[in-house]
A and B are shown apart, each in its own frame.
Chain A
Amino acid sequence: MKNFIAKFINTSALSRDNSYCYQDVSVFLSDTSQLKSKEPFSLPESSKKPCIVCRNVNVFYKNKQAINDVSLDIYRREVLAIIGASGCGKSTFIRCLNRMNDTIEGCRVTGQILFDGIDIHSKDMDVVLLRARVGMVFQKPNPFPKSIYENVAYGPKIHGLAQSKRELDEIVEVSLRKAGLWDEVKDRLSHSGLSLSGGQQQRLCIARTIAVNPEVILMDEPCSALDPIATARIEELMAELSQEYAIVIVTHSLQQAARVSHRTAFFHLGSLIEIGPTEEIFTRPSKKLTEDYITGRFG
C-alpha cells in the first residue's frame, strides 16, 4: 500500500499539468529563501530576485534519465557558469530553460521551471514568447545563410519590434555594437553571414540574440569552436552583457568559468552536485566530487 501511494505521488509529480495545480508556488519561494540563506553570495541589490527558478527538474530521453532532480535559481544580471564532464547533462539542462528540448523526439521534462513566476510548461507561457525572452547562443556558430543585416534583423522582424526601416536599422546597429562587431562589418552588412570568421560568426549570433532584447541569454559552450583570441573577445562581451542580461553559460573550460561567472554550478551524471559563488566553488568546494573535478582528478 505504501508503495502504491509513493508511486501515485511520483506519477503526479511527474505529470506537468498536475504538478502545477497541486503544489503551491509559495512553497518554492520559501524554498528559494532557504537556499539563499544556505548559500550567501554578493550581487547587486537589484538582482537578488530570481529570474528563473528551477525545482526538481528531471529530463528523460525515452527511458533514460539525463537530468536528475535539479533545483537552482538564476538571478538577473549575473553570469551563471555550468561546468561538468561531457555527458553530465549541462547542455540538456540549459536547453530546458527555453524549451529547446521540445524539438528532440522522445525528450520529456518534468518538474518546475518558473520564468518570471510562470511555469514555462504551462498554458500561460507561450513557447515563442519564452524563446523571445530567453535567447540562446549555440556551441557551433550557426548564422543563417543570409546577409549579416538579415541575420540580426530576423528576430526583430518576426516579432515586429521595429515600426520602420529606420528603427530596424537602428536595432541592427545597436546589437552589432553591443556584440562588438559593428566596426568590423559596418561596410559589408549585405555580405553573407557565412563570409565571416568563426569568432565573428559567433559574435554575429550573439548580436542576433540580443537584437530581440531578451531577459536571459543561454550560451551553450559558445567558445568551444573558437581560438583563444576570439574566446577572449566573447568573454569580454559577456562581462558587458551581464550588466543588462542574466547569462547562463555552459563551458568545458574551468578557467573560463572562473573568469566570467559570478556563480558556478557543478553537474555530475545528471545531478547538480554543488552551486555557489564562483570563488567559493573554485577555492573551497564543499563536495569531494567538485574538488576532484576542479583539481583535475577526473573529467
Chain B
Amino acid sequence: MNRPSRIPTADIVRRSLPRRYKKERRFLIYGALSIVVCFLFLGIFFSGIFRMGWRAFFETRIKLPIYLDPELILPYNIKESDYGLVISQSLQRFFPDVTSRQEKRELSKLLGAGVEEVLKEFVIKHPEAVGSAVEIWLPAGDGINLINKGVISKERAIQAGLVTEGILQKFEQLSSDGRVSTGFNSRFFTSGDSHTPSMAGIGGAIVGSFYLMVVTFFLSFPIGVGAAIYLEECAPKSRLTDIIDININNLTAVPSIIFGLIGLAIFLNFFKLPRSSPLVGGLVLSLMTIPVIVIASKSALKSVPPSIREAALGVGASKIQTIFHHVVPLALPGMFTGAILGMARAVGETAPLLMVGMVAFVVDIPKKLMDPASALPVQIYLWSDQPDRAFNEKAAAAIIVLIFFMIAMNSAAIFLRKKYERKY
C-alpha cells in the first residue's frame, strides 16, 4: 500500500533520530553514575576500615635490660616462675629515681599486660640466659602504644587515664635513647583472644574459621552436588521434584539466624554435641551452604549441552557412566565456583554461630573439632562490642583479614572458572 502522498520513511526516521540518541546518552550517563556511586561507597568503606585497622598490624616495642634473677627463675620451675616480679625489679633498676609506691605501680603501665608471657617464652627458648642481664624487646602498654601510633593525642590519653605524665616522660626518654621501635605485630596472627588488647590476636579465630570451613566444605559439597545430580539428571520430572526445587530456592532466602536456631535445637539439644565447637558451627553452616551449592550445581549441569549426553548414550554408555564420565567433569568448574561462593558467604556469617555458642571468650587455640572455638566474624563482633579503643582497632584489623580471605576465595572461584571453562 504505497500511497503517493506518504512522507518518505527516511524523513520520518531522520526526525526521530535526535530523540533516540538523546535517550541512549541519558541511559549511558545513568549507568556510569550508578557505578561511580558504588565505587564511592566502596571507597569510603575500605578507607575507613583501613585507616582504623592498619595500626593493629604494628606494635610499639621497648628495649629494656632485664636481669633474669636465678633466685626467681628456678631451673625446675621455669614455667611457673613469677616473671611479673622479674620485670618490675628490672624496671626499678633501670629507673632508680622511682621510689614511691604509687609511681612504681604507674611504671608497670609502660609495658603491656602480657609481657610476662613474652618473657616466659624467651626464657623457655633460652634457659642458659638465666642469671645474666639481657636486652629484650617487650611490647609497650596499651596507652603508650596508642599514643605512639598516633591513634589518640597525649592530652586525651592523660585525660582518659590511660597514661600519666610521669610515664610519658619516661617513654620519651626511652624513645630518645633509641629504645623504642614499631614493628610488625606477628602476635596478632598467632595468639588467641585476650582481655588485654596488646595480647589479643586472631590466631584462635582463624583456626576456628578454618575448621568451620573444612567441616562445611566436606559436608556440603558432596551432599549438595549429589542432590543436584540426582535432581537434575536422574529424578523424573514431576510435581514432587518441582516442589523440592522451589523449596531449595526458598532455603537460600531463609535468614541465617534461623539455621542457628535449628542447630541449637537439633545438634546441641538433641544430639548433645559440644557447645561452641567448630563441628556444630560447621554443621549449621553446611545447612546454609547446601542449598547454594545445589542451585549452582544444578545450573552448571543444565549448561552442559544435551549433545554431549546424547553422544555418550549413543555409543552405549549407561546413564551413570554418561553423568560421571562426561557431564560432571564439564559441570565441575561451575560447581566449584558455586561452592566457593557459598563458602565465602558462610565464612562471613555470624548470626547462626551465636546460637550454637561460638560467641564464647576463647583464649586457647582450638586443637580438635570438638574444642571450643570462635570464628573471625564472631571475633569481630566481640571486639567491636568492647569499650576499649584498642579493641576497636583490633576489630578493624580483623575485618581487613576477613575481607582479604573473601577476596582470595572469590578470586579462586574466578580463577577456577577461567581455567577449566571449556567450550563445547
A interface vs B, CB < 8 Å? 98, 100, 103, 105, 128-129, 131-132, 135-138, 140, 142-145, 154-155, 158-159, 194, 205, 208-209, 211-212
B314, A136: Cβ atoms closer than 8 Å: yes
CB distance from B233 to the nearest CB of A (A): 10
List 25 A–B pairs whose Cβ atoms lie within 8 Å, in order of A's numbering: A100-B310, A103-B309, A103-B310, A129-B316, A131-B316, A135-B315, A135-B316, A136-B310, A136-B314, A137-B314, A138-B307, A140-B307, A142-B308, A144-B308, A145-B330, A145-B422, A154-B312, A155-B316, A158-B316, A158-B325, A209-B314, A209-B315, A211-B315, A212-B315, A212-B316
Please give, as numbers and ranges, the residues of chain B lying within 8 Å of A143 by CB-CB distance: 311
Please give, as numbers and ranges, the residues of chain B lying within 8 Å of A138 by CB-CB distance: 307, 310-311, 314
Residue in A closest to B423 when the chains form the complex, CB atoms: A194
CB distance from B91 to the nearest CB of A (A): 72
Count of residues in B whose CB is under 8 Å from the partner chain: 21
215-273 of chain B: CB within 8 A of chain A: 237
> How far is it, in angstroms, between the C-alpha of A142 and the C-alpha of B318 when the chains are bound?
18
B181 CB within 8 Å of chain A? no
> How far is it, in angstroms, between the C-alpha of A142 and the C-alpha of B308 when the chains are bound?
6
B326, A98: Cβ atoms closer than 8 Å: no
CB distance from B375 to the nearest CB of A (A): 40
The listed residue with most B CB atoms (<10 A of its CB), out of A128, A140, A194, is A128
B325, A154: Cβ atoms closer than 8 Å: yes
Please give, as numbers and ranges, the residues of chain B lying within 8 Å of A209 by CB-CB distance: 314-315
The listed residue with most A CB atoms (<10 A of its CB), out of B309, B317, B423, B424, is B317
> How far is it, in angstroms, between the C-alpha of A145 and the C-alpha of B328 when the chains are bound?
12
> How far is it, in angstroms, between the C-alpha of A128 and the C-alpha of B311 when the chains are bound?
13
B interface vs A, CB < 8 Å? 237, 305, 307-318, 321, 325-326, 330, 422-424
A159, B316: Cβ atoms closer than 8 Å: yes
A98, B318: Cβ atoms closer than 8 Å: no
The listed residue with most A CB atoms (<10 A of its CB), out of B307, B311, B316, B330, is B316
A-B contact count (CB 8 A): 67
Residue in B closest to A208 when the chains form the complex, CB atoms: B315
A145, B424: Cβ atoms closer than 8 Å: yes
> How far is it, in angstroms, between the C-alpha of A100 and the C-alpha of B326 when the chains are bound?
17
> How far is it, in angstroms, between the C-alpha of A131 and the C-alpha of B311 when the chains are bound?
11
A98, B317: Cβ atoms closer than 8 Å: no
Please give, as numbers and ranges, the residues of chain A lying within 8 Å of B325 by CB-CB distance: 154, 158
CB distance from B154 to the nearest CB of A (A): 68
A194, B424: Cβ atoms closer than 8 Å: yes
B316, A128: Cβ atoms closer than 8 Å: yes
With A103-B310, A194-B424, A209-B314 given, can you name 12 additional A-B contacts, CB distance below 8 Å?
A100-B313, A131-B313, A131-B315, A132-B316, A138-B311, A144-B311, A145-B423, A154-B317, A158-B315, A158-B316, A159-B316, A209-B315
B237, A105: Cβ atoms closer than 8 Å: yes
Please give, as numbers and ranges, the residues of chain B lying within 8 Å of A135 by CB-CB distance: 314-316
B311, A205: Cβ atoms closer than 8 Å: yes
> How far is it, in angstroms, between the C-alpha of A128 and the C-alpha of B315 when the chains are bound?
9
B321, A158: Cβ atoms closer than 8 Å: yes
CB distance from A248 to the nearest CB of B (A): 14
> How far is it, in angstroms, between the C-alpha of A105 and the C-alpha of B144 when the chains are bound?
74
Residue in A closest to B326 when the chains form the complex, CB atoms: A144
- Which of B307, B316, B330, B423 is within 8 Å of A142, CB to CB? B307
> How far is it, in angstroms, between the C-alpha of A208 and the C-alpha of B310 when the chains are bound?
13
- Which of A132, A142, A211 is within 8 Å of B311, CB to CB? A142
Closest 7 CB pairs of A and B: A132-B316, A155-B315, A142-B307, A136-B314, A131-B316, A142-B311, A145-B422
B312, A144: Cβ atoms closer than 8 Å: yes
Residue in A closest to B237 when the chains form the complex, CB atoms: A105
> How far is it, in angstroms, between the C-alpha of A103 and the C-alpha of B316 when the chains are bound?
13
The listed residue with most A CB atoms (<10 A of its CB), out of B312, B313, B321, is B313
Please give, as numbers and ranges, the residues of chain A lying within 8 Å of B315 by CB-CB distance: 131-132, 135, 154-155, 158, 208-209, 211-212
> How far is it, in angstroms, between the C-alpha of A206 and the C-alpha of B318 when the chains are bound?
20
Residue in B closest to A211 when the chains form the complex, CB atoms: B315
> How far is it, in angstroms, between the C-alpha of A102 and the C-alpha of B90 when the chains are bound?
87
Please give, as numbers and ranges, the residues of chain B lying within 8 Å of A142 by CB-CB distance: 305, 307-308, 310-311
Please give, as numbers and ranges, the residues of chain A lying within 8 Å of B330 by CB-CB distance: 145
Residue in B closest to A142 when the chains form the complex, CB atoms: B307
CB distance from B314 to the nearest CB of A (A): 4
> How far is it, in angstroms, between the C-alpha of A208 and the C-alpha of B315 when the chains are bound?
8
CB distance from B312 to the nearest CB of A (A): 7
CB distance from B308 to the nearest CB of A (A): 6
CB distance from A123 to the nearest CB of B (A): 16
CB distance from B417 to the nearest CB of A (A): 16
> How far is it, in angstroms, between the C-alpha of A31 and the C-alpha of B311 when the chains are bound?
35
CB distance from B412 to the nearest CB of A (A): 23
Residue in A closest to B309 when the chains form the complex, CB atoms: A103
> How far is it, in angstroms, between the C-alpha of A70 and the C-alpha of B167 when the chains are bound?
103
Please give, as numbers and ranges, the residues of chain A lying within 8 Å of B311 by CB-CB distance: 138, 142-144, 205, 208
Please give, as numbers and ranges, the residues of chain A lying within 8 Å of B310 by CB-CB distance: 100, 103, 136, 138, 142
> How far is it, in angstroms, between the C-alpha of A205 and the C-alpha of B422 when the chains are bound?
19
